[in-house]
Amino acid sequence: MDILRRIDQVVGRINTHPEYSKCVYKEFTRALREEAGRESYFLEFTRVMDPRSIPKEDKEIFELSEPQIRSRLGNAWDLLARNGIDLFSLSKLGEILLPEKNSGGFRNREVQVFGFAPPGPLEVPQGIDNLVGFLNASDIHSVLRASAAHLDLIRIHPYADGNKRAAQLLQNFCLAKTGHPPAIIPLTDSELYFNLLKGALSDRYAFKSTAFQPSESERLFTEYIGSRVLASAERLEAELAKNRAYDVLLTNVDQPGAVHSTANALRNIGRRGNRGGIKVKIEKNNQGKKGEKLEVIGDIGERELGEVLSICAKRAHLKYQIVNRSCGCD
């Protein structure tokens, strides 16, 4: 699958690039995960044309505040991080995400999903146990495993409500475990997502498809999930590229204006083309009057930074030293 190759290329660059900040990686990945969670919370409400038509029992969910959603998602994620993916953690996941509808573990009644009948309540624990075994033992590609987790949790439908939210969180937790960013399913894709999901579920319920031998419908669903992982990976790489950070130590600064001229030269590089810009802050280097420091943050590689500084150094007869501080956290 070509989408998997493209994901591997981007994620490979992210994980090995010496100039990308671990702090930026951590913070932006968390932001992507929270965005994915927010979108999943309201995905099912996209079919509601008039908020007044929302049933009374669902209105409280529809009106959840941003901090409330973030708290529930964080608690659910922490549950999986503490306990791993097992029968206990998945039995609690639905209640943490949607306590208004779920309590006491798995559902205890029959439900419908897209007109299909999921396993009965007595079959749910065994179905979840099988899913846990698959996720902990399978050696298929991480994106395939995560997509299968998403699909199979909805197929089993272990909770009275909130199964799609839980499925997306489980999927993204599986991705995070292997260093992949989350798949964000935007509200604008709701019709596409539901159609692909319905097609893949139809084949799963008819025993025409598995994670190892997927039908065409399941392959299309998995490819869509892969496209959302790729979109997040490309956003993450762009964020990392425009937030590379260096300290530039300047010495032998004899010419008036040489430091400001060097700083402006770097800022001008950041204004070219589609770059994300370059911020330069001038600080004293505590090395006497002839030593100063530039804090450089932006879309520039260390090699190009060195080339610009080399030209400036020749003009102003100064010396420089580059310290890459992208790998540390302040």
In whole angstroms, give the CA distance from residue 178 to residue 305: 32
Q: Which residues pair with 280 in a beta bridge?
A: 296
Q: Does residue 89 lie in a domain region?
A: yes
Lowest mean pLDDT of 31-35, 97-101, 239-243, name the range: 97-101
* Angle, CA 66 vertex, CA 62 and CA 67 arms, to 5°: 125
Q: Is residue 268 over pLDDT 80?
A: yes
In whole angstroms, give the CA distance from residue 315 to residue 312: 5
Of 102, 32, 101, 41, whose CA–CA distance to 66 is shortest? 41
Q: Which of 239, 274, 294 is the last residue of a domain?
A: 239
Domain count, the chain: 2
pLDDT class of 286 with cuts at 50, 70, 90: low
Q: Does residue 261 lie in a domain region?
A: yes
In whole angstroms, give the CA distance from residue 319 to residue 260: 15
Q: Does residue 189 lie in a domain region?
A: yes
Q: Does residue 329 lie in a domain region?
A: no
Residues 6 or more apart in contact with residue 19 via CB below 8 angstroms:
244, 301, 302, 324, 326
CATH assignment at residue 118: 1.10.3290.10
User: Average pLDDT of the chain?
Assistant: 91
pTM for the full predicted model: 0.89
Sheet with 292-298, strands from edge to edge, namely 278-284, 292-298, 244-251, 319-324
Domain range for 271: 242-324
